[in-house]
Amino acid sequence: MPRLSELSVGDAVGSATAHLTRADLVRYADASGDQNPIHASDEAARSVGLPGVIAHGMLTMGVAVRVVVDWCGDPSAVVDYGTRFTGQVPVGADDAPEPGADLEVSAVVGALDAEAGTARVDITATCGGTRVLGRARAVVRLPA
């Protein structure tokens, strides 16, 4: 686990690319209970003005914070996490020219609070070059 005293604002926390497939969306829908058809049916998604099936926002949020959890080594060290959803993650069908979707995530130390023993980590998440999360921030409690 990183130590707060060894960090500086701007330090890279990590980066990763997660490939999401339609099968991932089905598994997430089953686990979360979010069976909204825009996450499973191109027809349903298009009927509400979307380009096709999109990933669940909370799935996107969960995948993005994984970079922080991997960095700190302890999921319970993440004491706060929030974001705004600013774009969709369109997930192409298995037979599409580009099946699935790549969610690219990077994170840097955005602020340090020695008194509280925390670091704020700023997360960037994009799909196809478009930001899909805005103001994504996790607060992590770290040893001094």
CATH 3.10.129.10 fits 4-141, yes or no: yes
Share the mean pLDDT of the chain. Answer: 97
Q: Tell me which H or E stretch contains 134.
A: strand 130-141
What is the strand order of the sheet 78-85 is part of? Answer: 12-20, 101-113, 118-127, 130-141, 78-85
| Every domain of the chain and the residues it spans | 4-141
Q: Rounded to two decimals, what is the model's pTM?
A: 0.95
Separation of alpha carbons 134 and 93, rounded Å: 26
Does pLDDT of 98 surpass 90? no
Specify the long-range contacts of residues 34-41, CB closer than 8 Å, at least 24 apart.
34/58
pLDDT in tens, 9-47: 999 999 999 999 999 999 999 999 999 999 999 999 999
Does pLDDT of 94 surpass 90? no
CB 101 within 8 A of CB 67: no
